[in-house]
Structure 1
Amino acid sequence: MDTAAIDRFEAGRGRLASLAYRLLGSAADAEDAVQDAFLRWQAADRDHIEVPEAWLTKVVTHLCLDRLRSAQARHERAAGDRLPEPLLEGDPMLGPAETVEQRESVSLAVLTLMERLSPVERAAYVLREAFAYPHAEIAGILDITESASQQHVHRARRRVAAERRGDPVDPATARKVVEEFLAAATSGRTERLVELLTADAIAVSDGAGLARRLLRYRTPERIASLVRAGFRPTAAKRRMAGGNPTMHLTLLNGSPAVVAVVEGRVVGAVAFEVAGGKVAYMCGVAAAHRLGRLNEAWRRYEPGAPIASAW
């Protein structure tokens, strides 16, 4: 393959990776899908490809659909076992973020909700919301009719909107709410935690990476109790984490988040969605295989002083 063909692929690699990440919720799987697309590009009769960007978009989308439809993925989606892989602010895989729709499409809250969509609904939703493809082009990418594309996007929007808890808020306001929430958690003020949660708040967690299924918690009282227990110091927690973690406030997937770090290693992360000055949604990830890319990025990151320590 000549240099021009390689350069053409590499020019679009970031966009393809961002598309694959939104479809799969996993940075590692997204990288594999893009690499598979490169191999197909390498083997293709490129003289007969009129629009390389469109061709590659279709190839990556279908490679992701194959993964979403695999037996293991179907089982995980049916059981609700999957949580998306969190990405640190500035990660190029987060892709376009000029519009509210683009930013929301990569939030951990929406990525988690998209696990409930069918593979085709998810693909149509991502292509429309994150990349602003017209329905005619989505139909060509997915090999469906334009009417079907419209229906898939409509259903996906409706299902995601029905479960959304957070609202678009300015970063400074969201950060202040999360700081107050963390202060209440570390000081043991359970009543204050309840006050800082919306009445319909939801928390999801992978159970510190040990649970076999995704854990979901509802009601402010139940969530506050869970959070307080999570911040209560114990020797077992220190052994599991490998030490006493420090808590850093940052952005993950565009949302305010707390990252727990032990000797430079990320051991857990919690992202927040805020509505009406309160926490409406929490997503906790601690499974090591979901923190790989975050750990790589953290080694190059220069966080500010920790806002708290725990355990």
Structure 2
Amino acid sequence: MDENDFLAERFETHRRQLRAVAYRMLGSLSEADDAVQEAWLRLSRTDSERVENLGGWLTTVVGRVCLDILRSRRSRREEPMDVHLPEPIVSGAGTVDPEHQALLADSVGLALLVVLETLAPAERLAFVLHDMFAVPFDEIAPIVGRTPTATRQLASRARRRVRGSATVPDADLERQREVVDAFLTASRGGDFEALVAVLDPDVVVRSDGGALRPGSVVRGATAVAGQAITYARFAEVARPALVNGAAGVVEVAGGRTLAVLAFTVTDGRIAEINILTDPERLDRLDLTVLDA
């Protein structure tokens, strides 16, 4: 084995963790893969013998790449987007293959990713690296160009927002599916009262149609139930799925994916529904797992 092969083998032992960091930072599997690939390119141009902690070095590089991507996103947007949903990880509702199991293990709930999307890039980096991956503040500080104390404050602000906004789903996946199935059944039957019964009074529904379709936010059980009845025809083509490890559905008609819906079920009721209808991002999703 030559030196380059040995280095590649060492890099592969860190790939899963690096991808997990990048996905939490970017909310996009495709961009996460690009960030990990960039880390490999930088490593291949570096004297690796001088790198004492390869895992820490690679995590720092991925953090820098992701921070640049987040800042570039913000600079490209002429106007703030009202709704921007992360790219979901979708799996079949039943048995999933080992490769996709690894993806699910690396994912976090879509509701949490939605909150992370609202953070400033430096706040998101500090929170993800420290709170999710236990990277010390003195290692994060040079990435964001702050002192360790200021970096700690960034993470603290992010933490407060996450705790105040993120909805924690029920752990029982079977119970989640029962609630989602009840919602779909009530939608198909136009049963307004049954819909309200499975919705949290303060339920929030976000819909992201991409750059060409304005996003929307609907709040409250009454409004969401009315919307569900209005769009009942889409419930007819809903297929059960796991979305970021939680109960969800994929709407497919005529061989085309119309939407991915991620449900957050809390205390036996639906507290959030995040709906991705952006054709560009839907086309990037690997939905062949639904046929497994």
**TM bucket by the smaller chain?**
0.7 to 0.9
Aligned equivalent of 2:4? 2
The runs of 5 or more residues in structure 2 that have no matched partner are 92-99
The percentage of counterpart residues that share the same residue type is 37
Give 1:224 shift: 1.3
Give 1:134 shift: 3.8
The 1:190–1:108 alpha-carbon spacing in structure 2 relative to 1, beyond 3 Å, is same
Contact 2:204 2:273 in 1 (8 A): yes
> Given the two structures, how large is their TM-score scaled by the length of structure 2?
0.86
Q: Which moved more, 1:137-146 or 1:55-64?
A: 137-146
Matched pairs, number: 282
Q: Which moved more, 1:34-43 or 1:262-271?
A: 262-271
Aligned equivalent of 1:26? 28
Alignment deviations for residues 89-112 of structure 1 (CA, whole Å, 9 cap, x no partner): 43534454xxxxxx6xx2111111
Give 1:138 shift: 3.5
The runs of 5 or more residues in structure 1 that have no matched partner are 97-102, 234-243, 304-311
- 3-state DSSP class of the match of 1:232? helix
CA RMSD of aligned residues (A): 2.5
Alignment deviations for residues 181-212 of structure 1 (CA, whole Å, 9 cap, x no partner): 111111111222122111111000024x5754
Q: Aligned partners of 2:6 and 2:165: how far apart in 1? A: 46
Contact 2:168 2:264 in 1 (8 A): yes
Aligned equivalent of 1:260? 251
Alignment deviations for residues 17-64 of structure 1 (CA, whole Å, 9 cap, x no partner): 121111111111111111111111111122211111111111111111
Whichever residue aligns with residue 228 of structure 1, its letter is I
Q: Aligned partners of 2:83 and 2:76: how far apart in 1? A: 10
Whichever residue aligns with residue 46 of structure 1, its letter is S
The answer to whether structure 1 residue 201 and structure 2 residue 211 are counterparts is no
Aligned equivalent of 1:299? 288
Aligned equivalent of 1:218? 219
The 1:95–1:66 alpha-carbon spacing in structure 2 relative to 1, beyond 3 Å, is farther
Alignment deviations for residues 155-178 of structure 1 (CA, whole Å, 9 cap, x no partner): 112112222334443112211111
Aligned equivalent of 2:121? 119
Whichever residue aligns with residue 31 of structure 1, its letter is D
Aligned equivalent of 2:151? 149
Say which of 273, 278, 286 aligns to 1:287.
278
Q: Which moved more, 1:224-233 or 1:248-257?
A: 224-233
Give 1:141 shift: 5.1
Q: Aligned partners of 1:277 and 1:254: how far apart in 2? A: 17
Alignment deviations for residues 58-85 of structure 1 (CA, whole Å, 9 cap, x no partner): 1111111001101556628832342101
Q: Aligned partners of 1:6 and 1:30: how far apart in 2? A: 18
Say which of 278, 295, 306 aligns to 2:269.
278
Contact 2:242 2:248 in 1 (8 A): yes
Q: Aligned partners of 2:27 and 2:252: how far apart in 1? A: 23
The 1:293–1:211 alpha-carbon spacing in structure 2 relative to 1, beyond 3 Å, is closer
Aligned equivalent of 1:231? 232
Q: Aligned partners of 1:19 and 1:77: how far apart in 2? A: 28
Q: Aligned partners of 1:76 and 1:14: how far apart in 2? A: 34
> Given the two structures, how large is their TM-score scaled by the length of structure 1?
0.81
Q: Aligned partners of 2:155 and 2:74: how far apart in 1? A: 25
